[in-house]
């Protein structure tokens, strides 16, 4: 409930910024519709949940698989003066990934044979992340010919989340690098599984940098880079290291409704 209240507050702030009429929201909404471009956008995201700066514990990326990362949104682009404006919208999107990496002395906790083991792992780690979310971006824009450059913050609420995977083809040193050695294989009963979905945060904030390119008066394309400023897991979560952040590029098409 608290998270939903935050989303509602963020939406009110965005609309107020667009209208400039904090004391007359009805008239402000009418001004938005009359003076703004209204766009629908459909896109696809490519990226990952990653550390900022590759730590020494992650040695190599073995595989990366594209996931079903669609985005569907609507936004209002309100002109301010000259070629400047402000854009706000609402998007439904997924920020997901699946990758396998080679790690060494990587801190983690796994489940194996009904036991919970913590320590440092050396071997291969497969991780799958899913984050279906509602996102409210608020961006300043600058128009130049057929292009519309944009930059600003966003806030997201994650409705469905998953962060799970397995440690395999290696060994876990229990507690610390000198602890008891537990071999982990490839099979279901040999590997170590983990699921940290409940430790993921619901609210995210970040920055969105992008450009819209209009082919004609109605149809265009867009490219965005979204950089999360909130770590994926809740504050205080240190079962795995280092902190992870969502960084994604989005590409797609836009259609101007008016």
Q: Which tokens in the block code for residue 215?
A: 């082919």
What is the number of helices (H) and of strands (E) in the chain? Answer: 2, 12
- The pLDDT tens digits for 162-195 are 999 999 999 999 998 889 999 999 888 899 999 9
CA distances from 45 to 39, 72, 240 (A): 19, 11, 25
Residue 127 is predicted with a pLDDT of 95
Quick one: average pLDDT of 117-136? 96
Helix axes 25-35, 2-19, angle to 10 degrees: 60
pLDDT of 32 above 70: no
User: Per mean pLDDT, which range of 29-38, 142-151, 170-179, 226-235 is the poorest?
Assistant: 29-38
Q: Between these two residues, 50 and 27, which has the higher pLDDT value?
A: 50
Percent of the chain surpassing pLDDT 90: 71
Predicted pLDDT at 21: 45
Residue 211, number of CB atoms within 10 A of its CB: 17
| DSSP-assigned letter for residue 146 | T
Tell me the average pLDDT of the chain. Answer: 88
Measured distance CA(119)–CA(112) in Å, rounded: 13
């Amino acid at each position: 409930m608290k998270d939903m209240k935050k989303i509602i507050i963020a939406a009110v702030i965005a609309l107020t910024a667009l209208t400039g009429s904090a004391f007359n929201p009805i008239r402000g909404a009418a001004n938005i519709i009359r003076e703004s471009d209204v766009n629908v956008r459909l896109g696809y995201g490519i990226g990952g949940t990653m550390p900022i700066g590759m730590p020494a514990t992650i040695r190599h990326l073995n595989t990366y698989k594209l996931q079903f990362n669609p985005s569907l949104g609507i936004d209002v682009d309100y002109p301010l003066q000259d070629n400047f404006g402000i854009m706000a919208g609402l998007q439904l999107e997924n920020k997901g990934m699946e990758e396998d990496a080679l790690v060494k002395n990587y801190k983690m906790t796994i489940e194996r044979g009904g036991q919970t083991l913590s320590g440092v792992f050396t071997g291969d780690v497969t991780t799958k992340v899913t984050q279906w979310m509602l996102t409210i971006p608020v961006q300043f824009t600058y128009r130049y010919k057929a292009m519309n450059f944009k930059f600003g913050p966003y806030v997201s609420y994650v409705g469905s989340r998953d962060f799970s995977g397995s440690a395999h083809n290696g060994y876990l040193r229990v507690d610390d690098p000198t602890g008891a050695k537990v071999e982990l294989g490839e099979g279901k009963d040999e590997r170590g599984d983990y699921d940290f979905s409940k430790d993921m945060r619901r609210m995210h904030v970040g920055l969105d940098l992008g450009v819209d390119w209009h082919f004609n008066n109605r149809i265009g394309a867009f490219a965005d880079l979204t950089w999360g400023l909130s770590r994926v897991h809740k504050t205080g979560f240190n079962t795995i290291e280092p902190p992870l952040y969502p960084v994604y590029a989005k590409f797609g098409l836009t259609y101007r409704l008016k």
